[in-house]
Amino acid sequence: MKTETKASANAQVRKGEGVETLIKGGTVFTASDSFKADLLIRGEKIVELGERIEPAPAARVVDAKGLEVYPGGVDAHTHFELPFMGTVSADDFESGTIAAACGGTTTLIDFVIPSKGGSILEALEAWHKKAAGKAVIDYGFHMALVDFNDQIASDMVKVIRDGIPSFKCFMAYKGALMVDDAQLLEVLSVTKKHGGLLSVHAENGDMLSYLMKHLLEEGKTGPEFHPAAHPAVAEGESAHRAIALAKMAGATLFIVHLSCQESLKEVKAARCRGQLVLAETCPQYLLLDDSLYRKNGFEAAKWVMSPPLRDKSGMEKLWEGLRDGFLQSVATDHCSFRFKGQKDMGKEAFTKIPNGIPAVGDRVNLLYTYGVRKKRLSRSQFAAVTATNPAKIFGLYPQKGTIAVGSDADLVLFDPGKKGRISKENTHHRVDYSAFEGFELEGLPTLVMSRGKVVAKDDEFVGQKGRGKYIKRSQFDEGGWR
Ligand code: URP
Ligand code: ZN
Ligand code: ZN
């Protein structure tokens, strides 16, 4: 942002209308269009878009000349304050949403993960408690299912009706979160019948645990062996199986954190046969590769995540998958652990390194520089994969994920000329390293708005703890994806 002025020092609240903000002179990019427009915000909503809107006397005017205006980012995959692998992920709903806001994300969907045998409704309550009063941007929840029984089936229907239409099952993490094929089928039949959508973590947990056991027996205990325990063939097999199960159930399937050709090929084949399978990938699979596991000894633990980073040769294919529409969304799978005190729990065995990386604050910036500026994505594709598509898939649209009259005023103003560099020194993540250390950024958000309020300016958080609202989402609508 170049300048911000106030038409009146005391921006007044017009009776019943709320404060007006006029964003003037920017270029608006949505998933389908780009146009020069002024944008009028009243209270929390966009109320007018037009070539030339004159400010009311009390309006706050933001000069957006030379700036690009995008819908606020929607990160549909985070894990804040998650108890996992003997520890708890480091970012909570305060630090995680502050990092998100500074990096251009204005809505996120976090995963409720119940314990095995536990009630999903009780787990949901627990997640509401973690988020309320802390989140600085709006958020929703997906429900993970680590079990299946009649109680869960009826609670699934309750949560769908109450604004949580999306579920996740783990085909990996054997002995902890993993479900079997029969359970997957049961879940798919409920989602199909009641307007839900099932996501899967597609890695074959039996293959993984077999490999882990044998690698450890051979004394291969360091983090450099993590990718050997998570081969791409296990992701491809699992994607294939999940797609077959979804076909049999007649349900739509969403594959989270897709990392390799083996599973992308399965998604493409299904789509080409006319089966609706949707998928997301993550910045780490687009931009980092498995050579990181082979450098600097235990340092590799920083990138221990599941699925793991893959061979460099597949990365351009994932960008192509985004461009061609086989991958609809880029989410972070943000699940941060400090290197000292958390990742080092796995010093003796890589299988004990808590899985996950910090990324929620970096997603939009990385996609802008390495997608838009490197000409891998058009600006509209960037808006689509960072905001519009996840909003549509997960029932947030058109409240979130676009720039339109009536939508929430969730916006990111990008200065294409502003440069930066990702580093642990300037991260908002509550950890002691950055997974994308040294990545240069070309074009940065100068102003981020959530429901009409500025929450970040030039990477500085200026919002309010607890202002983030829980958003109930609509049921899955397959219209538009066929
Ligand atoms: O390594 C990862 N992905 N950690 C978070 C849990 C998950 O599987 O999504
Ligand atoms: Zn997962
Ligand atoms: Zn995840």
Structure tokens at 286: 């687009």
Ligand nearest, relative to CA of residue 89 = 1
Task: Identify the CA nearest to 450 among candidates 415, 405, 399, 414.
Answer: 399
State the chain's mean pLDDT as an integer.
Answer: 95
Judge if the beta carbon of residue 356 lies within 6 A of ligand 1.
Answer: yes
Task: Identify the CA nearest to 98 among candidates 343, 460, 367.
Answer: 460
- Chain-centroid distance of CA 162 in Å reads 22
> What's the pTM value of the predicted model, to 2 decimals?
0.96
Ligand 1: residue of 81, 254, 257, 284 to mutate (most ligand atoms within 8 A of CB) is 257
Q: Which domains does the chain have, with CATH numbers?
A: 2-71+403-461 (2.30.40.10), 73-394 (3.20.20.140)
pLDDT band at residue 18 using 50, 70 and 90 as cut-offs:
low
pLDDT for the residue 7: 40
Judge if the beta carbon of residue 315 lies within 6 A of ligand 1.
Answer: no
Answer whether residue 420 shows pLDDT above 70: yes
Q: Using CA atoms, how far apart are residues 450 and 467, in angstroms rounded to an integer?
A: 9
Q: Within 13 A of 297's CA, how many CA atoms are on the CB side?
A: 4
Which residues make beta-bridge pairs with 36?
Answer: 27
pLDDT band at residue 277 using 50, 70 and 90 as cut-offs:
very high
Judge if the beta carbon of residue 89 lies within 6 A of ligand 1.
Answer: no
Average pLDDT over residues 403-411: 98
Judge if the beta carbon of residue 271 lies within 6 A of ligand 1.
Answer: no
Average pLDDT over residues 30-37: 97
Give rounded-to-5 percent helix, strand, coil for the chain: 35, 25, 40
Judge if the beta carbon of residue 235 lies within 6 A of ligand 1.
Answer: no
Answer whether residue 284 shows pLDDT above 90: yes
Average pLDDT over residues 113-133: 97
pLDDT digits (tens, 9 = 90+) for 193-230: 999 999 999 999 999 999 999 999 999 999 999 999 99
pLDDT band at residue 10 using 50, 70 and 90 as cut-offs:
very low
Q: Are 100 and 382 in contact (CB under 8 A)?
A: no
pLDDT digits (tens, 9 = 90+) for 161-180: 999 999 999 999 999 999 99
pLDDT for the residue 3: 36
Answer whether residue 482 shows pLDDT above 90: no
Measured in Å, how far apart are the chain's first and last C-alpha atoms? 39
Burial 400-416 (b: 16+ CB within 10 A, else e): bbbbeeebbbbbbbbbe
Of all residues in the chain, what percent carry a pLDDT higher than 70? 96
Answer whether residue 12 shows pLDDT above 90: no
Distance 150 CA to ligand 2 centre (A): 24
pLDDT band at residue 295 using 50, 70 and 90 as cut-offs:
confident
Q: Using CA atoms, how far apart are residues 292 and 306, in angstroms rounded to an integer?
A: 15
Q: Within 13 A of 281's CA, how many CA atoms are on the CB side?
A: 30
Answer whether residue 2 shows pLDDT above 50: no
Neighbours of 357 (CB within 10 A): 27
Q: Using CA atoms, how far apart are residues 268 and 322, in angstroms rounded to an integer?
A: 12
Answer whether residue 16 shows pLDDT above 80: no
For the chain, give the secondary structure using H, E and C: CCEEEECCCCCCCECCCECEEEEEEEEEECCCCEEEEEEEEECCEEEEEECCCCCCCCCEEEECCCCEEEECEEEEEECCCCEECCEECCCCHHHHHHHHHHCCEEEEEEEECCCCCCCHHHHHHHHHHHHCCCCCCEEEEEEECCCCCHHHHHHHHHHHHCCCCEEEEECCCCCCCECCHHHHHHHHHHHHHHCCEEEEECCCHHHHHHHHHHHHHCCCCCHHHCHHHCCHHHHHHHHHHHHHHHHHHCCCEEECCCCCHHHHHHHHHHHHHCCCEEEEECHHHHHCCHHHHHCCHHHHHHHCCCCCCCCHHHHHHHHHHHHHCCCCEECCCECCCCCCCCHHHHCCCHHHCCCCECCCCCHHHHHHHHHHHCCCCCHHHHHHHHHHHHHHHCCCCCCCCCCCCCCECCEEEEEEEEEEECCCCCCCCCCCCCCCCCCEEEEEEEEEEECCEEEEECCEECCCCCCCCECCCCCCCCCCCC
Answer whether residue 15 shows pLDDT above 60: no
Ligand 1 nearest atom to the CA of residue 111, by list position:
9
Ligand nearest, relative to CA of residue 284 = 1
pLDDT for the residue 80: 98
pLDDT for the residue 463: 98
Answer whether residue 9 shows pLDDT above 50: no
